[in-house]
Structure 1
Amino acid sequence: MFDHVKFGVSNYAASRAFYVKALAPLGVAVVSEGVPSYGIELCGEGEPSLCLFETQEKPAHLHVAFSAKRRESVDEFYRAALEAGGKDNGPPGLRTKYHANYYAAFVIDPDGHNIEAVCHRPEA
Structure 2
Amino acid sequence: MFDHVKFGVSDYAASKAFFLKALEPLGVAVVAEGSPAYGIELSPKGKASLCLYQTDEKPAHLHLAFTAENRRQVEAFYRAALEAGGKDNGAPGLRPHYHANYYAAFVIGPDGHNIETVCHEPEA
**Which structure has the highest strand share of the two?**
2
1:82 is displaced (CA, Å) by: 0.1
Question: 1:65: which partner in 2?
Answer: 65
Q: How well do the aligned residues superpose, as a CA RMSD in angstroms?
A: 2.0
> In the aligned structure 1, how far is the partner of 2:122 from the partner of 2:94?
10
> In the aligned structure 2, how far is the partner of 1:84 from the partner of 1:99?
29
1:114 has 2:79 as partner: no
> In the aligned structure 1, how far is the partner of 2:95 from the partner of 2:63?
16
> In the aligned structure 1, how far is the partner of 2:123 from the partner of 2:90?
19
**Where does the alignment leave 5 or more consecutive residues of structure 2 unmatched?**
6-57
Q: How many residues align?
A: 70
Larger Rg computed on CA atoms: 2
> In the aligned structure 2, how far is the partner of 1:77 from the partner of 1:59?
26
Question: 1:81: which partner in 2?
Answer: 81
TM-score (norm 1): 0.53
SS in 1 for 2:104: strand
**Where does the alignment leave 5 or more consecutive residues of structure 1 unmatched?**
6-57
Query: Which string of whole-angstrom CA distances, capped at 9 and with x for unpartnered residues, describes residues 80-115 of structure 1?
Result: 000000000000000000000000000000000000
TM-score (norm 2): 0.53
1:100 has 2:100 as partner: yes
Query: Which string of whole-angstrom CA distances, capped at 9 and with x for unpartnered residues, describes residues 53-90 of structure 1?
Result: xxxxx842110000000100000000000000000000
Q: Match of 2:96, as an amino acid?
A: T
